[in-house]
Amino acid sequence: MAEAKWVDQADVVLVGAGIMSATLAALLRELQPDMSIRVIERLEGVALESSLATNNAGTGHAANCELNYTPEQGDGSVETSKAFKINESFEISLQFWSHLVGKGLLPQPGAFLSPVPHLSFVWGEDSVRFLRTRHAALQAHPMFVDMRYSEDPAQLREWMPLVMEGRDPKQAMAATRVARGTDVDFGRLAIQLFAGLGQGADFGILANHHVQDLVREADGRWRVVVRDQVGGQTREIKAKFVFLGAGGGALPLLLKSGIPEGCGYGGFPVSGQWLICTNPEVIARHHAKVYGKASVGAPPMSVPHLDTRMVDGKPALLFGPYAGFTTKFLKQGSFLDLPLSLRPHNLYPMMAAGWQNLDLTRYLIGQVLQSREARLETLRTFVPTARMEDWELEIAGQRVQIIKKDPVHGGKLEFGTEVVSAADGSLAALLGASPGASTAVATMLEMLLKCFPERAKSEAWQRTIQQMVPSFGTNLVKDADLLARVRARNSEMLGLKAE
Ligand SMILES: Cc1cc2nc3c(=O)[nH]c(=O)nc-3n(C[C@H](O)[C@H](O)[C@H](O)COP(=O)(O)OP(=O)(O)OC[C@H]3O[C@@H](n4cnc5c(N)ncnc54)[C@H](O)[C@@H]3O)c2cc1C
């Protein structure tokens, strides 16, 4: 191995060049323009893992259509608190993007965000009852006042002709529709965010460099040990603050950092596959994101949906995801990722969570082994007239779900995202994947306030936060006037439609 040498020092090192690091870098550039920032990425370019458009579903998650955010309760009522939180978080992302578009730091929004109606679609008496109850609970609030509901086949045909073609109109069916939905190309957005940072600032992206280790120095800084994937040299960068925005690679790095707050964390990888439509005539007949209900035993992120997408500026149609299991933590990772993440402190939580989720593991393996015909059958629940020759199977991105200690069960599996940070604020890691990229701005902003508490209190930061995200620190769920003002500006700046 080549001898290590100092090549760099920076205030901030961001590991991974996906949407999370891009968002964090853009926020820091606004809040603290004098900070030096380095991004280290193991692949040859930016946003090639989960943030790449075809590796994720591109839904601007606002809880308009995702039924797993509003679970049905034992008494038949619907729990809505998560839906409000996610909708508010997405409005925070929209405010920041509006701010950057206004300043010319992001291009015209059409380059990364497209208005696409969000629909939930269900069939069968019980599911129709659930959707009706969900609609009544959400639509009563200003946040979801524009959500429309119908059981009328003619109306459903108008909303989603491809989904209704060939369907028995006598079957009990219902849908809700929110016109102000979005499809976001998070890969393009990350590229544009990074591009807006490069000019004139002390900022750099080191591609083809793999972070191998993180060592705490006596002066409190982090020594980030990096291997050049092309030349083979080992280099080091010293930083005051390190963000592990490495997607599925964040957990192994958190464990390597040795911070006590990372103790007991493990990961459960879930892979995915899409059917991607190759027939332009079929693609042109659908304009919506249509989310259904997860089948029994399926993890919440495996809810099937039929999505109009804009991928690299071109219309596309994707169906899925079909979940799957592999031991890789990254799509371009290693099968050793899972076994190498085992430590004495996370072994018991991992085993306990694994034991409690045997059904999930069985379900995922079953999904991997599905035949072409079985996949077509699932697709036909959404597109009854689908022909296999119009669709191609593609591997989606990898998600690593969080496993953590649990005082009662020993360990538990979680499906959300979580920021784990050192007590002194010098290092933070983003674990988990859902609701993911859509809530990047709120998640990164909250992390900054936690890791830079003194700066966060300063007048300069407070003023800048107000300019970037006017609703931050207030409650959009409770303040209908502010919600209306924020939405009007976001819609105008980003070209979103309401009904
Ligand atoms: C199938 C699927 C569907 C999804 N659908 C949606 C959706 O509809 N809406 C939504 O909002 N979110 C969705 N998500 C989640 C979303 O994709 C992620 O939350 C988001 O992309 C995560 O961004 P990131 O920057 O943290 O990770 P990534 O984009 O994965 O970036 C991490 C980067 O770190 C690099 N890296 C890893 N290890 C190292 C290392 N040791 N050294 C250097 N670099 C390293 C990787 O190469 C990668 O480029 C979906 C995810 C999947 C998998």
Dihedral (CA of 471, 475, 481, 487) sign: positive
- At 188-205, the pLDDT tens digits run 999 999 998 876 678 999
Predicted confidence at residue 415, as pLDDT, reads 84
Average pLDDT value over all residues in the chain = 93
Tell me how crowded residue 225 is: count the other CB atoms within 10 A of its CB: 17
Predicted confidence at residue 368, as pLDDT, reads 77
- At 148-176, the pLDDT tens digits run 999 999 999 999 999 999 999 899 999 99
**By CB neighbour count within 10 A (0-12 exposed, 13-18 middle, 19+ buried), where does 16 fall?**
buried
- CB of 400 sitting under 6 A from ligand 1: no
Residue partners of 425: CB distance under 8 A and separation at least 6: 241, 450, 451, 452, 453
Question: What span, in angstroms and rounded, lies between the C-alpha atoms of 11 and 431?
Answer: 23
Question: What span, in angstroms and rounded, lies between the C-alpha atoms of 449 and 445?
Answer: 6
**By CB neighbour count within 10 A (0-12 exposed, 13-18 middle, 19+ buried), where does 312 fall?**
exposed
- At 69-98, the pLDDT tens digits run 999 999 999 999 999 999 999 999 999 999
- CB of 328 sitting under 6 A from ligand 1: no
| pTM of the predicted model as reported, rounded to 2 decimal places | 0.95
- At 463-477, the pLDDT tens digits run 999 999 999 989 999
Residue partners of 221: CB distance under 8 A and separation at least 6: 238, 239, 240, 426
> Of 61, 93, 63, 92, whose CA–CA distance to 80 is shortest?
63
Question: What span, in angstroms and rounded, lies between the C-alpha atoms of 249 and 336?
Answer: 12
Binned at pLDDT 50, 70 and 90, residue 6 comes out as low
Residue with CA nearest ligand 1 atom 38: 249
- At 42-63, the pLDDT tens digits run 999 999 999 999 999 999 999 9
Q: Which atom of ligand 1 has the smallest separation from the CA of 398?
A: 53
Predicted confidence at residue 3, as pLDDT, reads 46
434 pLDDT more than 80: no
178 pLDDT more than 80: yes
Dihedral (CA of 419, 420, 425, 427) sign: negative
Predicted confidence at residue 72, as pLDDT, reads 92
CA of 412 to the centre of ligand 1 (A): 22
- At 300-345, the pLDDT tens digits run 666 889 999 999 889 999 999 888 888 999 999 999 999 999 999 9
From 49, 94, 227, 256, give the residue whose CB has the most ligand 1 atoms within 8 Å, as the site to mutate.
49
Lowest mean pLDDT among 348-352, 368-372, 449-453, 457-461: 368-372
Question: What span, in angstroms and rounded, lies between the C-alpha atoms of 139 and 339?
Answer: 46
Predicted confidence at residue 201, as pLDDT, reads 75
- CB of 430 sitting under 6 A from ligand 1: yes
Predicted confidence at residue 7, as pLDDT, reads 66
Question: What span, in angstroms and rounded, lies between the C-alpha atoms of 48 and 305?
Answer: 23
CA of 297 to the centre of ligand 1 (A): 25
- How distant, in Å, are the alpha carbons of 80, 205, 436 from that of 417? 19, 25, 7
Binned at pLDDT 50, 70 and 90, residue 4 comes out as very low
DSSP secondary structure letter of residue 368: H
* Rounded (to 5) percent helix, strand, coil in the chain: 40, 25, 35
From 40, 51, 325, give the residue whose CB has the most ligand 1 atoms within 8 Å, as the site to mutate.
51
- At 277-300, the pLDDT tens digits run 999 999 999 999 999 987 766 666
- CB of 57 sitting under 6 A from ligand 1: yes
